[in-house]
């Protein structure tokens, strides 16, 4: 082609004429705006799954720590404090964190026997997205107390 010759406009395959860039991008903006609530919902669901898993980890560790203290002769308050030391933040609040270590008449065979005799059970209510709100479920774990013999 010579320098002065005009180039012929390029033809698009198809029936629709070439649209300006601003009009072509309009559909993408609408699509993103429509999908944004679903993207946020998926993000919140993944975050909740993470918080429930974190609660499970806390309950396991704190129940094991409580069982260790109970094994060497700790009373209910010592077991509760040892278990609480393994949990931080809003997970350790009084309304979210419960420790059960039945002893005495509940486990001596007098009357109905508690199914958690010989175990330390820790229960935590996982938070719902932010601190202060809780899921309506409870995550719990129990650890067997292996009593140490006098030696």
If one compares 32 and 16, the residue with the highest pLDDT of the two is 32
Compare 49 and 16 and report the one with higher pLDDT. 49
Sort strands 130-134 and 139-144 into parallel, antiparallel or unpaired. unpaired
pLDDT at residue 55 is higher than 90: yes
Indicate whether 1 pLDDT > 50: yes
* Closest by Cα among 73, 85, 58, 75 to 146: 73
Query: pLDDT class for 151, splitting at 50, 70, 90?
Result: very low
Taking only the tens place, the pLDDT of each residue in 74-108 is 899 999 999 999 998 888 888 889 999 998 877 87
The CA–CA distances, whole Å, from 23 to 18, 123, 124 equal 10, 56, 53
Q: What is the pLDDT of residues 63-73, one digit of tens each?
A: 999 999 999 98
For residue 143, the surrounding DSSP H or E stretch is strand 139-144
Predicted structure pTM score:
0.72
């Amino acid at each position: 082609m010579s320098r002065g010759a005009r180039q012929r406009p390029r033809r698009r395959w198809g029936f629709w004429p070439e649209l300006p860039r601003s009009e072509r991008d309009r559909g993408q903006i609408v699509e993103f705006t429509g999908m944004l609530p679903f993207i946020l919902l998926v993000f919140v669901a993944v975050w909740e799954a993470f918080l429930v898993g974190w609660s499970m980890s806390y309950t396991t560790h704190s129940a094991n720590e409580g069982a260790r203290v109970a094994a060497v002769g700790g009373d209910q308050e010592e077991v509760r404090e040892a278990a609480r030391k393994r949990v931080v933040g809003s997970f350790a609040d009084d309304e979210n964190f419960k420790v059960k270590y039945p002893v005495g008449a509940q486990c001596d065979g007098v009357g109905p026997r508690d199914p958690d005799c010989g175990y330390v059970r820790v229960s935590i209510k996982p938070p719902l997205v932010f601190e202060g709100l809780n899921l309506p479920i409870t995550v719990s774990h129990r650890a067997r107390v292996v009593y140490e013999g006098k030696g």
